[in-house]
Structure 1
Amino acid sequence: MPLSDIQVRNLKPREKPYKASDFEGLFVLVKTNGSKLWQLKYRINGKERLFSIGVYPDVSLAQARKAKEAARANLAAGIDPSEAKQEEKRLRLEAKGQTFEKIGTAFLAKQRKEGKSAATLSKTEYHLKLANRDFGIKPITEITAPMILKTLRTVEAKGNYETAHRLRARIGSIFRYAVASGIAETDPTYALRDALIRPTRVHRAAIIEPKALGRLLLEIDGFDGQAGTRIALKLLAILAQRPAKSGTPYGMNLTLKSGFGRSQRPR
Protein backbone atom coordinates (compact mmCIF):
# COMPACT_ATOMS: atom_id res chain seq x y z
CA MET A 1 0.00 0.00 0.00
CA PRO A 2 1.47 3.41 -0.94
CA LEU A 3 2.74 5.64 1.83
CA SER A 4 1.22 8.98 2.81
CA ASP A 5 3.20 12.01 3.90
CA ILE A 6 1.78 11.72 7.43
CA GLN A 7 2.94 8.10 7.66
CA VAL A 8 6.46 9.02 6.57
CA ARG A 9 6.56 11.93 9.04
CA ASN A 10 5.46 9.67 11.92
CA LEU A 11 7.96 6.86 11.29
CA LYS A 12 10.00 6.37 14.49
CA PRO A 13 13.50 4.91 14.90
CA ARG A 14 13.94 1.37 16.21
CA GLU A 15 16.83 -0.64 17.57
CA LYS A 16 17.73 -1.64 14.00
CA PRO A 17 17.28 0.17 10.66
CA TYR A 18 14.08 -0.78 8.81
CA LYS A 19 12.30 -0.06 5.54
CA ALA A 20 8.85 1.38 4.87
CA SER A 21 7.83 0.61 1.30
CA ASP A 22 5.91 2.90 -1.05
CA PHE A 23 5.49 1.17 -4.46
CA GLU A 24 7.44 0.19 -7.58
CA GLY A 25 10.62 -0.34 -5.57
CA LEU A 26 10.58 3.01 -3.74
CA PHE A 27 11.03 2.89 0.04
CA VAL A 28 12.24 4.99 2.94
CA LEU A 29 15.04 3.60 5.12
CA VAL A 30 14.62 4.65 8.77
CA LYS A 31 17.95 4.58 10.59
CA THR A 32 18.52 4.13 14.33
CA ASN A 33 19.33 7.85 14.74
CA GLY A 34 15.92 8.79 13.26
CA SER A 35 17.14 9.94 9.82
CA LYS A 36 15.04 8.82 6.85
CA LEU A 37 16.60 8.10 3.46
CA TRP A 38 14.66 7.60 0.24
CA GLN A 39 15.96 4.72 -1.85
CA LEU A 40 14.87 2.87 -4.98
CA LYS A 41 15.46 -0.85 -5.51
CA TYR A 42 15.88 -1.79 -9.16
CA ARG A 43 17.42 -4.45 -11.38
CA ILE A 44 19.69 -3.91 -14.38
CA ASN A 45 21.63 -6.50 -16.35
CA GLY A 46 20.22 -9.16 -14.01
CA LYS A 47 21.66 -7.49 -10.89
CA GLU A 48 19.77 -5.83 -8.04
CA ARG A 49 20.96 -2.33 -7.15
CA LEU A 50 19.97 0.57 -4.89
CA PHE A 51 19.55 4.18 -6.01
CA SER A 52 19.80 6.80 -3.24
CA ILE A 53 17.39 9.69 -3.84
CA GLY A 54 17.75 11.90 -0.79
CA VAL A 55 16.94 12.51 2.87
CA TYR A 56 13.42 13.20 4.15
CA PRO A 57 12.11 15.90 4.71
CA ASP A 58 14.61 17.68 2.40
CA VAL A 59 13.18 15.40 -0.29
CA SER A 60 9.41 15.11 0.11
CA LEU A 61 7.33 12.07 -0.77
CA ALA A 62 6.18 13.74 -4.00
CA GLN A 63 9.77 14.61 -4.97
CA ALA A 64 10.95 11.07 -4.20
CA ARG A 65 8.24 9.66 -6.48
CA LYS A 66 9.23 12.07 -9.26
CA ALA A 67 12.89 10.99 -8.91
CA LYS A 68 11.73 7.36 -9.05
CA GLU A 69 9.90 8.01 -12.33
CA ALA A 70 13.00 9.66 -13.82
CA ALA A 71 15.12 6.68 -12.74
CA ARG A 72 12.63 4.22 -14.29
CA ALA A 73 12.72 6.24 -17.53
CA ASN A 74 16.51 5.83 -17.55
CA LEU A 75 16.15 2.11 -16.97
CA ALA A 76 13.72 1.85 -19.88
CA ALA A 77 16.41 3.46 -22.05
CA GLY A 78 19.04 1.02 -20.77
CA ILE A 79 20.75 3.62 -18.55
CA ASP A 80 21.75 2.80 -14.99
CA PRO A 81 20.25 5.64 -12.86
CA SER A 82 23.05 5.40 -10.28
CA GLU A 83 25.71 5.86 -12.97
CA ALA A 84 23.69 8.69 -14.54
CA LYS A 85 23.59 10.44 -11.16
CA GLN A 86 27.36 10.09 -10.72
CA GLU A 87 27.96 11.49 -14.21
CA GLU A 88 25.67 14.45 -13.48
CA LYS A 89 27.57 15.10 -10.25
CA ARG A 90 30.90 14.93 -12.10
CA LEU A 91 29.73 17.42 -14.73
CA ARG A 92 28.39 19.74 -12.03
CA LEU A 93 31.72 19.74 -10.18
CA GLU A 94 33.60 20.25 -13.43
CA ALA A 95 31.38 23.21 -14.33
CA LYS A 96 32.07 24.80 -10.93
CA GLY A 97 35.79 24.74 -11.74
CA GLN A 98 35.19 26.59 -15.02
CA THR A 99 35.11 30.12 -13.63
CA PHE A 100 34.84 33.25 -15.74
CA GLU A 101 38.41 34.17 -14.78
CA LYS A 102 39.71 30.77 -15.90
CA ILE A 103 37.89 30.96 -19.25
CA GLY A 104 39.05 34.56 -19.70
CA THR A 105 42.66 33.50 -19.16
CA ALA A 106 42.27 30.78 -21.79
CA PHE A 107 40.71 33.31 -24.20
CA LEU A 108 43.66 35.68 -23.67
CA ALA A 109 46.11 32.82 -24.33
CA LYS A 110 44.23 32.09 -27.56
CA GLN A 111 44.62 35.72 -28.64
CA ARG A 112 48.37 35.53 -28.00
CA LYS A 113 48.67 32.39 -30.13
CA GLU A 114 46.76 34.14 -32.90
CA GLY A 115 49.36 36.92 -32.90
CA LYS A 116 47.08 39.72 -31.75
CA SER A 117 48.74 43.11 -31.34
CA ALA A 118 50.05 44.33 -27.99
CA ALA A 119 47.29 46.96 -27.96
CA THR A 120 44.56 44.32 -28.34
CA LEU A 121 46.07 42.09 -25.65
CA SER A 122 46.36 45.06 -23.29
CA LYS A 123 42.70 45.95 -23.82
CA THR A 124 41.63 42.35 -23.21
CA GLU A 125 43.63 42.26 -19.95
CA TYR A 126 42.05 45.55 -18.85
CA HIS A 127 38.51 44.35 -19.60
CA LEU A 128 39.16 41.03 -17.83
CA LYS A 129 40.35 42.94 -14.76
CA LEU A 130 37.10 44.95 -14.67
CA ALA A 131 34.94 41.83 -15.06
CA ASN A 132 36.95 39.57 -12.71
CA ARG A 133 36.62 42.13 -9.94
CA ASP A 134 32.87 41.40 -9.75
CA PHE A 135 32.30 37.83 -10.98
CA GLY A 136 35.66 36.30 -11.91
CA ILE A 137 35.47 33.57 -9.27
CA LYS A 138 31.95 32.49 -10.27
CA PRO A 139 31.38 29.45 -12.52
CA ILE A 140 30.68 30.84 -15.98
CA THR A 141 27.44 28.86 -16.19
CA GLU A 142 26.09 30.72 -13.12
CA ILE A 143 26.73 34.24 -14.43
CA THR A 144 23.54 35.99 -15.52
CA ALA A 145 22.75 39.07 -17.59
CA PRO A 146 21.79 41.13 -14.47
CA MET A 147 25.20 40.33 -12.89
CA ILE A 148 27.00 41.57 -16.00
CA LEU A 149 24.77 44.64 -16.28
CA LYS A 150 25.65 45.63 -12.71
CA THR A 151 29.35 45.67 -13.66
CA LEU A 152 28.64 47.62 -16.85
CA ARG A 153 26.54 50.16 -14.95
CA THR A 154 29.47 50.79 -12.59
CA VAL A 155 31.66 51.72 -15.57
CA GLU A 156 28.84 53.68 -17.19
CA ALA A 157 28.20 55.68 -14.00
CA LYS A 158 31.68 57.21 -14.36
CA GLY A 159 30.75 58.54 -17.79
CA ASN A 160 32.83 55.88 -19.57
CA TYR A 161 30.10 54.96 -22.06
CA GLU A 162 32.44 53.71 -24.78
CA THR A 163 34.36 51.56 -22.27
CA ALA A 164 31.08 50.05 -21.03
CA HIS A 165 30.13 49.05 -24.59
CA ARG A 166 33.56 47.60 -25.29
CA LEU A 167 33.50 45.71 -21.99
CA ARG A 168 30.13 44.18 -22.89
CA ALA A 169 31.57 43.08 -26.24
CA ARG A 170 34.66 41.58 -24.59
CA ILE A 171 32.62 39.66 -22.01
CA GLY A 172 30.45 38.42 -24.88
CA SER A 173 33.55 37.20 -26.72
CA ILE A 174 34.58 35.16 -23.69
CA PHE A 175 31.10 33.65 -23.35
CA ARG A 176 31.04 32.73 -27.03
CA TYR A 177 34.46 31.11 -26.57
CA ALA A 178 32.99 29.13 -23.66
CA VAL A 179 30.00 28.09 -25.79
CA ALA A 180 32.30 26.96 -28.61
CA SER A 181 34.33 24.99 -26.04
CA GLY A 182 31.22 23.19 -24.77
CA ILE A 183 31.42 24.82 -21.33
CA ALA A 184 28.51 27.27 -21.53
CA GLU A 185 25.25 27.15 -23.47
CA THR A 186 24.42 30.81 -24.09
CA ASP A 187 25.90 34.31 -24.22
CA PRO A 188 23.95 36.46 -21.70
CA THR A 189 25.45 39.71 -23.06
CA TYR A 190 23.21 39.43 -26.13
CA ALA A 191 20.25 40.50 -23.99
CA LEU A 192 22.19 43.64 -22.93
CA ARG A 193 22.92 45.03 -26.39
CA ASP A 194 20.37 47.87 -25.95
CA ALA A 195 20.72 48.32 -22.19
CA LEU A 196 23.62 50.81 -22.17
CA ILE A 197 23.81 54.53 -22.94
CA ARG A 198 25.14 55.02 -26.44
CA PRO A 199 28.19 57.30 -26.53
CA THR A 200 28.03 60.46 -28.63
CA ARG A 201 30.04 59.98 -31.77
CA VAL A 202 32.61 62.68 -32.47
CA HIS A 203 33.61 63.14 -36.08
CA ARG A 204 37.37 63.24 -36.47
CA ALA A 205 39.35 65.41 -38.82
CA ALA A 206 40.69 63.75 -41.94
CA ILE A 207 44.11 62.11 -41.61
CA ILE A 208 46.49 63.72 -44.08
CA GLU A 209 49.86 62.87 -42.53
CA PRO A 210 51.52 59.61 -43.68
CA LYS A 211 52.68 58.72 -40.16
CA ALA A 212 49.19 59.21 -38.75
CA LEU A 213 47.77 57.00 -41.51
CA GLY A 214 50.35 54.36 -40.62
CA ARG A 215 49.28 54.45 -36.97
CA LEU A 216 45.64 54.06 -38.05
CA LEU A 217 46.48 51.01 -40.15
CA LEU A 218 48.35 49.48 -37.21
CA GLU A 219 45.30 50.04 -35.01
CA ILE A 220 43.12 48.34 -37.62
CA ASP A 221 45.57 45.41 -37.64
CA GLY A 222 44.86 45.04 -33.93
CA PHE A 223 41.09 44.85 -34.48
CA ASP A 224 39.93 41.45 -33.16
CA GLY A 225 36.50 41.34 -34.80
CA GLN A 226 35.55 39.61 -38.02
CA ALA A 227 38.20 39.45 -40.74
CA GLY A 228 35.82 40.97 -43.30
CA THR A 229 35.31 44.01 -41.09
CA ARG A 230 39.07 44.45 -40.65
CA ILE A 231 39.62 44.33 -44.44
CA ALA A 232 36.77 46.80 -45.00
CA LEU A 233 38.30 49.22 -42.48
CA LYS A 234 41.64 49.05 -44.28
CA LEU A 235 40.02 49.74 -47.65
CA LEU A 236 38.01 52.59 -46.14
CA ALA A 237 41.13 54.16 -44.67
CA ILE A 238 42.95 54.00 -48.00
CA LEU A 239 40.17 54.79 -50.47
CA ALA A 240 37.67 56.98 -48.59
CA GLN A 241 37.51 60.67 -49.53
CA ARG A 242 35.34 63.73 -49.35
CA PRO A 243 32.02 63.74 -51.24
CA ALA A 244 33.29 66.40 -53.65
CA LYS A 245 35.93 63.93 -54.85
CA SER A 246 33.86 60.77 -54.68
CA GLY A 247 33.63 60.25 -58.42
CA THR A 248 36.90 58.30 -58.66
CA PRO A 249 39.71 57.60 -56.17
CA TYR A 250 41.83 60.72 -55.56
CA GLY A 251 39.83 62.60 -58.26
CA MET A 252 41.53 60.69 -61.08
CA ASN A 253 40.25 61.30 -64.59
CA LEU A 254 39.55 57.96 -66.20
CA THR A 255 38.76 59.42 -69.65
CA LEU A 256 41.85 58.15 -71.40
CA LYS A 257 43.07 58.69 -74.94
CA SER A 258 42.10 55.16 -75.76
CA GLY A 259 38.49 56.24 -75.40
CA PHE A 260 37.81 54.55 -72.01
CA GLY A 261 34.98 56.40 -70.35
CA ARG A 262 34.02 58.24 -73.54
CA SER A 263 30.67 57.42 -75.13
CA GLN A 264 31.20 55.34 -78.25
CA ARG A 265 29.03 55.42 -81.28
CA PRO A 266 28.89 52.48 -83.65
CA ARG A 267 30.33 53.21 -87.05
Structure 2
Amino acid sequence: MKKSSFTDSKIKQLSPAKKRYSLTVDTGLSIRVMPSGVKSWVVRIPFNNRVSDITLGHFPEIGKRQACQLAKRERQKYELRAPNGYTFQDAYCLWKSLKRGEIVSYQSEKQRLDKYVVSALARKQLDDITAPMIIRLLKPIEQSGKRATAKRCLMRIREIFDLAVCAGYVLHNPIAGVSRLFKAPKKTPRPSLPWCELPAVIDVICQNANKHLQLIFFFS
Protein backbone atom coordinates (compact mmCIF):
# COMPACT_ATOMS: atom_id res chain seq x y z
CA MET A 1 0.00 0.00 0.00
CA LYS A 2 1.64 3.25 -1.13
CA LYS A 3 1.61 6.41 0.96
CA SER A 4 0.28 9.38 -1.02
CA SER A 5 -1.74 12.56 -0.74
CA PHE A 6 -4.82 12.89 -2.93
CA THR A 7 -7.53 15.39 -3.69
CA ASP A 8 -10.92 14.36 -5.05
CA SER A 9 -9.83 15.39 -8.55
CA LYS A 10 -6.73 13.18 -8.36
CA ILE A 11 -8.75 10.25 -7.06
CA LYS A 12 -11.15 10.69 -9.97
CA GLN A 13 -8.21 10.30 -12.36
CA LEU A 14 -7.07 6.95 -10.89
CA SER A 15 -7.30 4.22 -13.51
CA PRO A 16 -8.14 0.57 -12.79
CA ALA A 17 -5.47 -2.10 -13.19
CA LYS A 18 -5.60 -5.84 -13.83
CA LYS A 19 -5.46 -6.41 -10.08
CA ARG A 20 -7.03 -4.54 -7.20
CA TYR A 21 -4.80 -1.93 -5.59
CA SER A 22 -5.02 0.51 -2.69
CA LEU A 23 -3.54 3.91 -1.98
CA THR A 24 -3.19 5.37 1.51
CA VAL A 25 -4.98 8.70 1.81
CA ASP A 26 -4.57 9.33 5.54
CA THR A 27 -3.82 7.45 8.75
CA GLY A 28 -5.77 4.21 8.51
CA LEU A 29 -7.76 5.38 5.48
CA SER A 30 -7.19 4.21 1.92
CA ILE A 31 -8.90 4.29 -1.46
CA ARG A 32 -9.28 0.85 -3.06
CA VAL A 33 -9.50 0.66 -6.85
CA MET A 34 -11.03 -2.49 -8.35
CA PRO A 35 -10.34 -3.83 -11.89
CA SER A 36 -13.95 -2.89 -12.68
CA GLY A 37 -13.15 0.75 -11.92
CA VAL A 38 -15.15 0.86 -8.68
CA LYS A 39 -13.38 2.93 -6.02
CA SER A 40 -14.10 2.29 -2.35
CA TRP A 41 -13.04 3.96 0.88
CA VAL A 42 -11.57 1.52 3.38
CA VAL A 43 -10.50 2.16 6.97
CA ARG A 44 -8.07 -0.26 8.62
CA ILE A 45 -8.78 -1.05 12.27
CA PRO A 46 -6.10 -2.79 14.39
CA PHE A 47 -7.84 -4.17 17.47
CA ASN A 48 -7.20 -7.10 19.82
CA ASN A 49 -4.13 -8.20 17.83
CA ARG A 50 -6.16 -8.36 14.65
CA VAL A 51 -6.52 -6.06 11.66
CA SER A 52 -9.88 -5.48 10.00
CA ASP A 53 -10.65 -3.52 6.84
CA ILE A 54 -14.04 -1.78 6.94
CA THR A 55 -15.56 -0.39 3.75
CA LEU A 56 -17.06 3.07 4.31
CA GLY A 57 -18.60 3.64 0.89
CA HIS A 58 -17.75 4.43 -2.71
CA PHE A 59 -16.16 7.34 -4.51
CA PRO A 60 -17.41 9.78 -5.84
CA GLU A 61 -20.59 9.47 -3.75
CA ILE A 62 -18.32 10.02 -0.74
CA GLY A 63 -15.50 12.54 -1.17
CA LYS A 64 -12.15 12.52 0.59
CA ARG A 65 -13.10 14.86 3.44
CA GLN A 66 -16.32 12.98 4.14
CA ALA A 67 -14.40 9.70 4.08
CA CYS A 68 -11.95 11.12 6.63
CA GLN A 69 -14.88 12.09 8.83
CA LEU A 70 -16.43 8.62 8.60
CA ALA A 71 -13.05 6.99 9.25
CA LYS A 72 -12.61 9.18 12.31
CA ARG A 73 -15.93 8.05 13.76
CA GLU A 74 -15.15 4.42 13.03
CA ARG A 75 -11.72 4.63 14.68
CA GLN A 76 -13.13 6.47 17.68
CA LYS A 77 -15.17 3.35 18.47
CA TYR A 78 -11.86 1.62 19.13
CA GLU A 79 -10.21 4.64 20.79
CA LEU A 80 -7.79 5.04 17.89
CA ARG A 81 -6.36 8.32 16.63
CA ALA A 82 -8.43 9.40 13.66
CA PRO A 83 -7.55 11.36 10.52
CA ASN A 84 -8.74 14.93 10.30
CA GLY A 85 -12.15 15.72 8.88
CA TYR A 86 -14.01 18.99 8.43
CA THR A 87 -13.26 21.87 10.78
CA PHE A 88 -15.46 24.75 11.87
CA GLN A 89 -13.41 26.95 9.53
CA ASP A 90 -14.51 24.76 6.59
CA ALA A 91 -18.17 25.19 7.55
CA TYR A 92 -17.68 28.92 8.16
CA CYS A 93 -16.19 29.35 4.68
CA LEU A 94 -19.23 27.55 3.25
CA TRP A 95 -21.53 29.92 5.15
CA LYS A 96 -19.63 32.96 3.86
CA SER A 97 -19.76 31.77 0.27
CA LEU A 98 -23.53 31.29 0.47
CA LYS A 99 -24.45 34.39 2.51
CA ARG A 100 -22.14 36.99 0.97
CA GLY A 101 -24.37 39.37 -0.97
CA GLU A 102 -27.51 37.46 0.07
CA ILE A 103 -28.19 39.02 3.48
CA VAL A 104 -28.16 42.77 4.18
CA SER A 105 -26.37 42.34 7.52
CA TYR A 106 -23.59 40.11 6.10
CA GLN A 107 -20.65 42.39 7.02
CA SER A 108 -21.82 43.03 10.59
CA GLU A 109 -22.65 39.32 11.08
CA LYS A 110 -19.22 38.31 9.76
CA GLN A 111 -17.43 40.83 12.00
CA ARG A 112 -19.37 39.56 15.01
CA LEU A 113 -18.53 35.92 14.24
CA ASP A 114 -14.86 36.72 13.61
CA LYS A 115 -14.60 38.53 16.94
CA TYR A 116 -16.50 36.20 19.26
CA VAL A 117 -16.65 32.76 17.61
CA VAL A 118 -14.23 31.93 14.81
CA SER A 119 -11.05 32.67 16.75
CA ALA A 120 -12.06 30.05 19.33
CA LEU A 121 -13.54 27.37 17.05
CA ALA A 122 -11.81 27.69 13.65
CA ARG A 123 -9.47 24.68 13.96
CA LYS A 124 -11.79 22.39 15.89
CA GLN A 125 -13.23 19.34 14.15
CA LEU A 126 -16.95 19.76 13.59
CA ASP A 127 -17.90 16.50 15.25
CA ASP A 128 -15.80 17.43 18.30
CA ILE A 129 -17.83 20.58 18.92
CA THR A 130 -20.54 20.04 21.54
CA ALA A 131 -23.40 22.04 23.01
CA PRO A 132 -21.57 22.60 26.35
CA MET A 133 -18.58 23.97 24.40
CA ILE A 134 -20.78 26.56 22.65
CA ILE A 135 -22.50 27.46 25.93
CA ARG A 136 -19.13 28.07 27.62
CA LEU A 137 -18.12 30.27 24.69
CA LEU A 138 -21.24 32.45 24.62
CA LYS A 139 -22.33 32.65 28.28
CA PRO A 140 -19.62 35.18 29.24
CA ILE A 141 -20.83 37.40 26.39
CA GLU A 142 -24.39 37.23 27.70
CA GLN A 143 -23.28 37.81 31.29
CA SER A 144 -21.36 40.93 30.24
CA GLY A 145 -24.68 42.48 29.25
CA LYS A 146 -24.46 41.73 25.53
CA ARG A 147 -27.51 39.48 25.30
CA ALA A 148 -28.30 40.47 21.73
CA THR A 149 -24.73 39.71 20.63
CA ALA A 150 -24.81 36.27 22.27
CA LYS A 151 -28.17 35.46 20.65
CA ARG A 152 -26.99 36.62 17.20
CA CYS A 153 -23.81 34.55 17.48
CA LEU A 154 -25.79 31.50 18.54
CA MET A 155 -28.23 31.95 15.67
CA ARG A 156 -25.40 32.11 13.12
CA ILE A 157 -23.51 29.16 14.64
CA ARG A 158 -26.70 27.11 14.39
CA GLU A 159 -27.08 28.25 10.78
CA ILE A 160 -23.45 27.29 10.00
CA PHE A 161 -24.02 23.80 11.42
CA ASP A 162 -27.28 23.42 9.48
CA LEU A 163 -25.39 24.14 6.26
CA ALA A 164 -22.63 21.73 7.29
CA VAL A 165 -25.22 18.96 7.79
CA CYS A 166 -26.72 19.65 4.34
CA ALA A 167 -23.23 19.57 2.77
CA GLY A 168 -22.37 16.26 4.45
CA TYR A 169 -19.62 17.74 6.63
CA VAL A 170 -21.24 16.43 9.81
CA LEU A 171 -24.20 14.17 10.59
CA HIS A 172 -26.19 16.38 12.97
CA ASN A 173 -26.38 19.85 14.49
CA PRO A 174 -25.15 19.59 18.11
CA ILE A 175 -26.63 22.93 19.22
CA ALA A 176 -30.17 22.62 17.87
CA GLY A 177 -31.80 23.27 21.28
CA VAL A 178 -29.21 25.48 22.97
CA SER A 179 -31.04 28.79 22.36
CA ARG A 180 -33.51 28.12 25.19
CA LEU A 181 -30.60 28.43 27.68
CA PHE A 182 -30.00 32.04 26.69
CA LYS A 183 -32.22 34.92 27.79
CA ALA A 184 -33.91 37.06 25.19
CA PRO A 185 -32.38 40.52 24.71
CA LYS A 186 -33.99 43.30 26.74
CA LYS A 187 -36.09 45.58 24.56
CA THR A 188 -36.57 49.20 25.58
CA PRO A 189 -39.70 50.68 23.96
CA ARG A 190 -39.39 54.12 22.43
CA PRO A 191 -40.78 56.93 24.62
CA SER A 192 -44.31 57.97 23.78
CA LEU A 193 -47.07 60.18 25.11
CA PRO A 194 -50.26 58.77 26.61
CA TRP A 195 -53.03 58.69 23.99
CA CYS A 196 -55.22 60.98 26.11
CA GLU A 197 -52.69 63.84 25.63
CA LEU A 198 -52.83 63.63 21.83
CA PRO A 199 -55.41 66.49 21.42
CA ALA A 200 -53.12 68.85 23.34
CA VAL A 201 -50.14 67.82 21.19
CA ILE A 202 -52.16 68.48 18.01
CA ASP A 203 -53.11 71.94 19.29
CA VAL A 204 -49.45 72.77 19.93
CA ILE A 205 -48.43 71.56 16.47
CA CYS A 206 -51.21 73.53 14.74
CA GLN A 207 -50.48 76.73 16.64
CA ASN A 208 -46.69 76.77 16.67
CA ALA A 209 -45.32 74.60 13.83
CA ASN A 210 -44.94 75.75 10.24
CA LYS A 211 -46.90 74.05 7.46
CA HIS A 212 -44.00 71.77 6.53
CA LEU A 213 -43.66 70.35 10.07
CA GLN A 214 -47.43 70.05 10.35
CA LEU A 215 -47.57 67.94 7.19
CA ILE A 216 -44.74 65.70 8.44
CA PHE A 217 -46.45 65.27 11.83
CA PHE A 218 -49.88 64.41 10.46
CA PHE A 219 -48.44 62.14 7.77
CA SER A 220 -46.46 60.20 10.38
Report the Cα distance in structure 2 between the residues aligned to 1:191 and 1:90, rounded to whole angstroms. 24
Q: Considering Cα pairs closer than 8 Å and 6+ residues apart, tell me whether 1 or 2 has the greater RCO.
A: 2
Q: Which of residues 53, 58, 69 in structure 2 aligns to 1:82? A: 53
Q: Which of residues 108, 126, 133 in structure 2 aligns to 1:140? A: 126
Q: Which of residues 86, 96, 102 in structure 1 aligns to 2:90? A: 102
Aligned CA RMSD, in angstroms, stands at 3.3
Question: How far 1:146 moved relative to its partner?
Answer: 0.5
Deviation track 1:173-193 (CA, whole Å, cap 9, x = no partner) reads: 000000111111222222212
- Aligned pairs for 1:168-247 (under 5 A) are 168-204=154-190
User: What's 2:102 paired with?
Assistant: 115
Deviation track 1:231-252 (CA, whole Å, cap 9, x = no partner) reads: xxxxxxxxxxxxxxxxxxx9xx
Report the Cα distance in structure 2 between the residues aligned to 1:95 and 1:181, rounded to whole angstroms. 19
Which amino acid in structure 2 is aligned with residue 110 of structure 1? L
Deviation track 1:142-200 (CA, whole Å, cap 9, x = no partner) reads: 11000111111121121111111111101000000001111112222222121112222
Work out which of the two has the higher radius of gyration on C-alpha atoms and give 1 or 2.
1
User: What's 2:148 paired with?
Assistant: 162
Deviation track 1:22-62 (CA, whole Å, cap 9, x = no partner) reads: xxxxxxxxxxxxxxxxxxxxxxxxxxxxx9752xxxx448x
- Aligned pairs for 1:247-258 (under 5 A) are none
Alpha carbons 1:97, 1:139 under 8 Å: kept: yes
Report the Cα distance in structure 2 between the residues aligned to 1:102 and 1:52, rounded to whole angstroms. 26
Q: How high is the TM-score relative to the length of structure 2?
A: 0.51
Question: How far 1:95 moved relative to its partner?
Answer: 7.8
Which amino acid in structure 2 is aligned with residue 134 of structure 1? A
Report the Cα distance in structure 1 between the residues aligned to 2:83 and 2:185, rounded to whole angstroms. 36
Kindly tell me: are residues 157 and 52 of structure 1, through their superposed partners in 2, closer, same or farther at Cα, counting changes over 3 Å? Answer: closer
Alpha carbons 1:108, 1:121 under 8 Å: kept: no
Alpha carbons 1:156, 1:164 under 8 Å: kept: yes
Aligned length in residues? 134
Kindly tell me: are residues 53 and 185 of structure 1, through their superposed partners in 2, closer, same or farther at Cα, counting changes over 3 Å? Answer: closer
Deviation track 1:199-246 (CA, whole Å, cap 9, x = no partner) reads: 22212358xxxxxxxxxxxxxxxxxxxxxxxxxxxxxxxxxxxxxxxx
Question: How far 1:99 moved relative to its partner?
Answer: 0.8
The percent identity for this pair of structures is: 23
Q: Give the SS at the match of 2:172.
A: coil
User: What's 2:6 paired with?
Assistant: none
Kindly tell me: are residues 186 and 90 of structure 1, through their superposed partners in 2, closer, same or farther at Cα, counting changes over 3 Å? Answer: closer
Which structure shows the higher strand fraction?
2
Alpha carbons 2:86, 2:125 under 8 Å: kept: yes
User: What's 2:112 paired with?
Assistant: 126
Kindly tell me: are residues 187 and 155 of structure 1, through their superposed partners in 2, closer, same or farther at Cα, counting changes over 3 Å? Answer: same
Deviation track 1:52-89 (CA, whole Å, cap 9, x = no partner) reads: 752xxxx448xx6xx9xxxxxxxxxxxxx636169865
Report the Cα distance in structure 2 between the residues aligned to 1:175 and 1:102, rounded to whole angstroms. 11
Report the Cα distance in structure 2 between the residues aligned to 1:90 and 1:192, rounded to whole angstroms. 24
Q: Give the SS at the match of 2:53.
A: helix
- Aligned pairs for 1:5-20 (under 5 A) are none
Q: How high is the TM-score relative to the length of structure 1?
A: 0.43
Q: Give the SS at the match of 2:188.
A: coil
